[in-house]
Structure 1
């Protein structure tokens, strides 16, 4: 068993790898539980759906068309973590604003999807 927990990651859309940059976040889309508090006590909780997502930044390149990236829909997005876990987001669409930054060529990526799972 490896002791590595963080560090190198890989980000891909429909099998095409992109240059991942910095910290990525993900959510499997499980129900979110919120307390229901009455005047007398905690009565229980309610559960509402969350959107499955993968979010982070990639490095821009001359071969990457931002217009094509923001038009993506119905894709499979994978995030391979340093600890060996792989997060797969299915039936996903680009959901970010399409912002790019010039200092280091950062492009924001946010994909929402119908489902997500951890594999491996």
Structure 2
């Protein structure tokens, strides 16, 4: 039986430009959130409200990381390609600040939100 990787390597791109990931990456592609509703007679159903999908990751500020360009991103396609073959795709995505770089290791956290998130 062949072993299939579950996690580890991730490639992050904004409109095709790849960025260097330092550590964690979180992809939340849900477009709605549901919450159960119960009354005295039992469960009545659920409430549903829209939520903003996002990809957030720790990035290195390398010599080729243009933070001003990254911060100006609006209406982009943002992808996170996981080693297990799954890809998180944000459509009409924008950068969310702030940009706080840690001097001790050159890392910063970047977050992109979008109008629609899907898994492929």
Shared fold (TM-score greater than 0.5)? yes
Tell me whether 1:64 sits opposite 2:36 in the alignment: no
Q: Which runs of 5+ in 1 are unaligned?
A: none
Which structure 1 residue ranges, 4+ long, deviate > 3 Å from structure 2?
none
Partner of 2:111 in structure 1? 110
What value does the CA root-mean-square deviation take over the aligned residues?
A: 1.5
d(CA) in 1 for partners of 2:117, 2:73: 17
Distance (Å, rounded) in 1 between the aligned partners of 2:106 and 2:59: 8
CA distance, structure 1, for counterparts of residue 29 and residue 19 of structure 2: 21
Cα distance in structure 2, aligned partners of 1:17 and 1:66: 13
CA contact (8 A) 1:2 1:83 kept: no
Unaligned runs of 5+ in 2: none
Q: What's the TM-score once normalised by structure 2's chain length? A: 0.89
How do 1:78-93 and structure 2 match up within 5 A?
78-93=79-94
Report how many aligned residue pairs link the two structures. Answer: 119
Equivalent residues of 2:23, 2:58 under 8 A apart:
yes
Secondary structure of the structure 1 residue equivalent to 2:31 = coil
